[in-house]
């Protein structure tokens, strides 16, 4: 399998995201076989409300696998503070109410010592106050709306994010679009916190860099319901009618797969006529395989194939991930959540405590601070 | 909006309507004949989609798809038979809540089994009818036109089965008075099983036909069920013609609603506003018959 040629245009912001992830990747430890049987004081759980079903099932599956692998690796090295770490993964169906219910259940009934951030920003926005109220640290590697870590009434001191936020991604995509010498841009985005936040950043950066660029669809039509009807006829036809020079999108997972597949059925040259700048992950590439169109301006958070060179720890992670999960390649989300979990384990070990204050302090202290991207 | 664009969005609405009707047809047939709201309908649709994708990818997109379609319809029909015998026979005549819970339990079992058998990753299959047509300066997928044709054939086929065959006559008689039909020597128990198998087969046919046009994952059962129920409520549960009209209304509302700036934020809400209005003015739906 050779995925690299399918990404036709290396982007500077891809490089930025990649560089950030290489730093993050460096934090992840490879499992080393223990010299003897490891004894534990007991078991502690780490919770993850996962979209194992629903719109983002593609991502929840990969993240869950990565977290289980990380737990195995951590336990092989003696666990955390002498305790064996067990993942507590509960399906939320990519819905906010179930994510909230899972978070409460994991904190109040399962007594988790840490949480991993969910996939969508809408879910994270709902989970964060619960985690904050109960003083449970959350390590977030996927949901990334900038409001989660910067808006005063939302900020949670126990929320640690290692993912480039929507302002960074939207701004980078906007600057790139402005530099592409295009005059007409069509926007399609999911209608919830992530899509609105990233699209606003895109538009602001685009207009700042090149004020003459015209966005051809009315702002009220930029957004599609999330999750949406699997048929994308309306959007595809609206693009045909508007004839833009570039389509900017941050639709993802099943939505992106359906959109790309249906657009190519309408016209195999669709993405040649209407080039697209879009958020992509290894999951979409794997699912569509050779059907994925060439010429896409893809921005990715942690594509393993772009990170692999000169990073033996990441290479080792990829090998072990594939060995454990039937040859599957780790998606961007798997790479990042593995690192997020490892960061938490390192910090909790260094703090000699599971207390959220102590662990957060350690995360922001050297050496982790010098090697990982993070916002707070 | 130019005439070409009007045609473009109307065709988009038709494709959407065809997709929704293909899914809703079996649901409507089962409710019409058995008065059972089958929450497992989406599960059978999902099983068929997976079976089609697996076979098509093994054999090859063209022949493989058609082989997959036949196998998928047979598999879902067989599952439907088992479900009818093991579950539905125990809930006929009981209140709808019991039927809902029974079929919902089946949907959970099937969803779990699908995840174990087919895994959590999405799968895709190439279209067996590639290519596109150019109408009024815009492109249309040949496969969307095939889906529209398939929806028309299914609607005509189900109507003909109900109104032009002995089986259909018995089904309609069973809806009116099953005891009287039983007294004439017709095995109503077997008739119910037959109807449910046909309904399950229609769910399978829908899953197979839709498979090449979208990503197939373990959640597609619920993705479509809400809109399929909305269509059935608007058109009238149990009415094939009602399902066709309901699909057309919903497909067009979504297609035009999403591209018109003033209506975009409410495009999906309009579907449920229409559903509420129909329920208020005509509770049995536009073409539905009152329950006995």
Choice between A172 and A226, residue whose per-residue pLDDT is larger? A172
Count of A–B CB contacts within 8 Å? 138
Max alpha carbon distance in chain B (Å)?
62
Yes or no: say if B282 and B292 are a contact pair by the CB < 8 Å rule. no
Please give the Cα distance from B205 to B71 (Å, whole number).
10
Selected residue of B17, B57, B128, B141 to mutate for chain A interface (largest A Cβ count, 10 A): B141
CA distance A332 to chain B (A): 15
- Res B259: pLDDT: 82
Tell me the chain A residues in contact with residue B111 when contact means C-beta distances shorter than 8 Å.
53
In this structure, the answer to whether residues A106 and A81 fall within a common structural domain is yes
> CB atoms < 10 A from the CB of B169, how many?
14
In this structure, the answer to whether residues A248 and A138 fall within a common structural domain is no
Q: 3-class DSSP state for residue B177?
A: coil
Q: Give the residue numbers spanning the domain of A121.
A: 25-164+308-371
Residues 124-153 of A with CB under 8 A from B: none
Please give the Cα distance from B31 to B13 (Å, whole number).
26
Tell me the chain A residues in contact with residue B13 when contact means C-beta distances shorter than 8 Å.
233
In this structure, the answer to whether residues A258 and A315 fall within a common structural domain is no
Tell me the chain B residues in contact with residue A229 when contact means C-beta distances shorter than 8 Å.
16, 223, 227, 254, 268
pTM: 0.85
Tell me the C-alpha to C-alpha distance, in Å, between residue B154 and each of A109, A127, B65, B227, B285.
51, 46, 18, 19, 21
Nearest CA in chain B to A234: B255
Tell me the chain B residues in contact with residue A285 when contact means C-beta distances shorter than 8 Å.
none
Contact assignment for B127 to A254 by CB distance below 8 Å = no
Tell me the chain A residues in contact with residue B12 when contact means C-beta distances shorter than 8 Å.
233-234, 236-237
In this structure, the answer to whether residues A79 and A189 fall within a common structural domain is no
**Domains parsed from chain B with CATH numbers:** 3-281 (1.10.3470)
Burial-class residue B47 by CB neighbours within 10 Å (0-12, 13-18, 19+). Answer: buried
In this structure, the answer to whether residues A236 and A270 fall within a common structural domain is yes
Give domain status of residue A122, yes or no: yes
Tell me the C-alpha to C-alpha distance, in Å, between residue B89 and each of A241, B27, B70, B97.
52, 17, 27, 15
CA distance B55 to chain A (A): 17
In this structure, the answer to whether residues A29 and A156 fall within a common structural domain is yes
Q: Is A227 on the interface with B (CB under 8 A)?
A: yes
User: Where is the domain boundary, A300, A320, A351?
Assistant: A300
In this structure, the answer to whether residues A40 and A98 fall within a common structural domain is yes
Task: State which H helix or E strand residue A223 sits in.
Answer: strand A223-224
Give domain status of residue A36, yes or no: yes
What's the structural domain count of chain A? Answer: 2
Those residues with Cβ within 8 angstroms of residue A112's Cβ, 6 or more apart along the chain or in another chain: A44, A45, A46, A47, A88, A106, A136
In this structure, the answer to whether residues A149 and A41 fall within a common structural domain is yes
Q: What is the pLDDT along chain B (292 residues), one digit of tens a residue?
A: 788 888 888 998 998 899 889 888 888 888 888 888 888 999 999 999 999 999 999 998 688 999 999 999 999 999 999 999 999 888 887 888 888 899 999 999 998 899 889 887 889 998 999 999 988 889 999 999 999 999 999 999 999 999 999 999 999 898 888 889 999 999 999 999 999 999 999 999 999 999 999 999 888 888 778 888 889 889 987 788 999 999 999 999 988 888 888 888 888 888 899 999 999 999 888 988 776 5
Please tell me which of the candidates A234, A236, A254 has its beta carbon nearest to residue B122. Answer: A254
Yes or no: say if A113 and A45 are a contact pair by the CB < 8 Å rule. yes
Give domain status of residue A4, yes or no: no
**Per-residue pLDDT tens digits for A14-59:** 444 444 443 343 344 444 444 567 789 999 999 999 998 888 888 8
In this structure, the answer to whether residues A141 and A253 fall within a common structural domain is no
Yes or no: say if B237 and B278 are a contact pair by the CB < 8 Å rule. no
- We report the CATH number of the domain holding residue A363 as 3.40.50.2300
Q: 3-class DSSP state for residue A124?
A: helix
Please give the Cα distance from A39 to B120 (Å, whole number).
34
Tell me the chain A residues in contact with residue B107 when contact means C-beta distances shorter than 8 Å.
none
- Average pLDDT on A317-332 reads 93
Residues 15-74 of A with CB under 8 A from B: 52-55, 57-58, 60-61
Give domain status of residue A276, yes or no: yes
In this structure, the answer to whether residues A326 and A293 fall within a common structural domain is no
């Amino acid at each position: 399998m050779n995925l690299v040629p399918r990404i036709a245009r290396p982007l500077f912001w891809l490089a930025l995201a990649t560089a950030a992830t290489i730093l993050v990747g460096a934090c992840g430890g490879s499992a080393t076989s223990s010299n003897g049987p490891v004894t534990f004081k007991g078991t502690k759980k780490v919770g993850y409300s996962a979209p194992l079903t629903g719109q983002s099932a593609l991502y929840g599956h990969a993240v869950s696998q990565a977290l289980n692998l990380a737990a195995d690796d951590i336990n092989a090295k003696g666990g955390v503070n002498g305790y064996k770490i067990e993942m507590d993964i509960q399906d939320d169906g990519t819905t906010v109410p179930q994510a909230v219910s899972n978070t409460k259940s994991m904190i109040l009934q399962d007594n988790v010592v840490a949480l991993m951030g969910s996939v969508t920003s809408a879910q994270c926005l709902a989970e964060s106050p619960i985690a904050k109220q109960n003083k449970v640290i959350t390590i977030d590697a996927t949901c990334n709306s900038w409001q989660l870590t910067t808006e005063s009434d939302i900020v949670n001191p126990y929320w640690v994010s290692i993912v480039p936020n929507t302002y960074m991604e939207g701004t980078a995509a906007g600057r790139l679009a402005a530099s592409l010498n295009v005059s007409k841009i069509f926007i399609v985005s999911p209608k919830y916190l992530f899509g609105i936040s990233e699209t606003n950043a895109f538009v602001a950066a685009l207009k700042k860099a090149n004020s003459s660029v015209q966005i051809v669809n009315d702002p009220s039509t930029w957004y599609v319901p999330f999750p949406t009807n699997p048929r994308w006829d309306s959007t595809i036809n609206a693009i045909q009618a508007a004839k833009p020079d570039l389509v900017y999108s941050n639709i993802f997972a099943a939505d992106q797969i359906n959109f790309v597949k249906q657009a190519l059925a309408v016209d195999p040259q669709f993405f040649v006529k209407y080039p697209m700048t879009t958020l992509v992950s290894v999951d979409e590439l794997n699912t569509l395989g050779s059907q994925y169109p060439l010429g896409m301006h893809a921005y990715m958070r942690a594509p393993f194939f772009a990170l692999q060179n000169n990073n033996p720890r990441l290479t080792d992670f990829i090998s072990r991930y594939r060995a454990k999960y039937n040859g599957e390649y780790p998606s961007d989300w798997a790479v990042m959540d593995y690192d997020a979990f490892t960061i938490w384990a390192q910090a909790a070990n260094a703090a000699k405590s599971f207390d959220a204050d102590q662990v957060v302090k350690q995360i922001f202290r050297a050496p982790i601070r010098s090697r990982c991207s993070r916002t707070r | 909006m130019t005439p070409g664009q009007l045609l473009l969005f109307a065709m988009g609405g038709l494709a959407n309507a065809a997709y929704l009707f293909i899914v809703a047809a079996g649901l409507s047939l089962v409710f019409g004949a058995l008065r059972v709201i089958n929450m497992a309908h989406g599960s059978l649709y999902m099983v068929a989609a997976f079976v089609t994708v697996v076979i098509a990818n093994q054999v090859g997109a063209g022949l493989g798809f058609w082989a997959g379609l036949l196998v998928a319809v047979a598999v879902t029909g067989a599952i439907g038979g088992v479900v009818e015998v093991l579950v539905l026979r125990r809930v006929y005549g009981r209140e709808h809540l019991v039927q809902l819970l029974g079929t919902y339990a089946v949907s959970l079992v099937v969803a779990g089994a699908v995840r174990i058998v087919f895994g959590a990753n999405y799968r895709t299959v190439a279209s067996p009818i590639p290519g596109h047509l150019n109408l009024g300066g815009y492109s249309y997928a040949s496969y969307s036109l095939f889906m529209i044709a398939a929806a028309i054939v299914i609607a005509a086929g189900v109507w003909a089965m109900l109104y032009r065959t002995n089986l259909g006559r018995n089904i309609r008689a069973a809806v009116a008075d099953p005891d009287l039909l039983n007294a004439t020597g017709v095995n109503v128990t077997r008739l119910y099983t037959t109807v449910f198998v046909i309904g399950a087969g229609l769910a399978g046919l829908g899953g197979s036909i839709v498979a090449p046009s979208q990503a197939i994952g373990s959640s597609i059962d619920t993705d479509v069920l809400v809109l399929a129920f909305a269509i059935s409520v608007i058109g009238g549960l149990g009415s094939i013609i009602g399902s066709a009209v309901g699909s057309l209304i919903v497909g067009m509302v979504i297609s035009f609603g999403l591209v018109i700036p003033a209506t975009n934020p409410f495009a999906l809400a309009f579907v449920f506003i229409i559903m509420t209005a129909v329920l208020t003015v005509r509770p049995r739906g536009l073409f539905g018959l009152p329950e006995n």
